């Protein structure tokens, strides 16, 4: 999975038409970066997915693809004389190591994607099992904070 870093800034500064044009350009660059046997899809918003059948290179092939995607998308886009730069954050989940069901693999690739975002963006991360625990911890903390706010347990000093 991948999504575009700084995409919101494109919509906010250049408008939604530029954002739509950017999606078309990104899709074109993705198509050029993947093999004929790979499948690309826009999932919604600024998220894309690529399904890559693993060959003998296995995990290394997925890493090579991620690096190729980053290199292709980080090159500036030209929009009516404006040089526009975005970068992708990429999350990788592998079957069967990380799961066999599509939903499970998407969830794990999404966790890896958000790890890439949290650790600096314009990069990739492979799914690691500890990412699940970190996501649960984050969710629990958010819920605890919401409850504390609702109960008026914070004071401004």
pLDDT in tens, 104-146: 999 999 999 999 998 888 899 999 999 888 878 888 889 999 9
pLDDT of residue 139: 85
Q: Who's near 44: CB < 8 A, 6+ residues apart?
A: none
* Contact in structure between 90 and 66 (CB atoms under 8 Å): yes
pLDDT tens profile 138-147:
888 899 999 9
Long-range pairs, 26-35, Cβ under 8 A, ≥24? 26/73, 26/86, 29/72, 29/73, 29/75, 30/69, 30/72, 30/73, 32/72, 33/65, 33/68, 33/69, 33/72, 34/65
pLDDT of residue 111: 94
Residue-range domain boundaries for the chain: 2-128
pLDDT of residue 135: 78
Q: How many CA atoms lie within 13 A of 22 on its CB side?
A: 32
d(CA 37, CA 113): 23
- What tens digit of pLDDT does each residue of 87-102 get? 999 999 999 999 999 9
CATH code: domain 2-128 is 3.30.70.270
In this prediction, residue 1 carries a pLDDT of 95
Q: Are 62 and 92 in contact (CB under 8 A)?
A: yes
Catalytic site residue 46? yes
Question: Choosing from 3, 5, 46, 110, which is the catalytic residue?
Answer: 46
pLDDT per residue over 49-72, tens digit each? Answer: 999 988 776 788 899 999 999 999
């Amino acid at each position: 999975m991948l999504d575009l870093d700084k995409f919101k800034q494109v919509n906010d500064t250049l408008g939604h038409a530029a954002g739509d044009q950017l999606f078309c350009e990104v899709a074109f660059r993705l198509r050029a970066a993947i093999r004929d046997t790979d499948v690309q899809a826009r999932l919604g918003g600024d998220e894309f997915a690529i399904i890559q059948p693993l060959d003998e290179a296995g995990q290394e092939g997925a890493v090579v693809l991620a690096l190729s995607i980053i290199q292709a998308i980080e090159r500036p886009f030209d929009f009516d004389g404006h040089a526009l730069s975005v970068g992708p954050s990429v999350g990788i989940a592998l079957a069967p190591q990380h799961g066999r069901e599509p939903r499970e693999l998407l969830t794990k690739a999404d966790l890896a994607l958000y790890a890439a975002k949290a650790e600096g963006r314009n990069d990739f991360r492979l799914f690691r099992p500890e990412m699940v625990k970190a996501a649960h911890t984050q969710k629990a903390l958010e819920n605890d904070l919401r409850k504390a706010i609702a109960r008026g347990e914070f004071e401004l000093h």
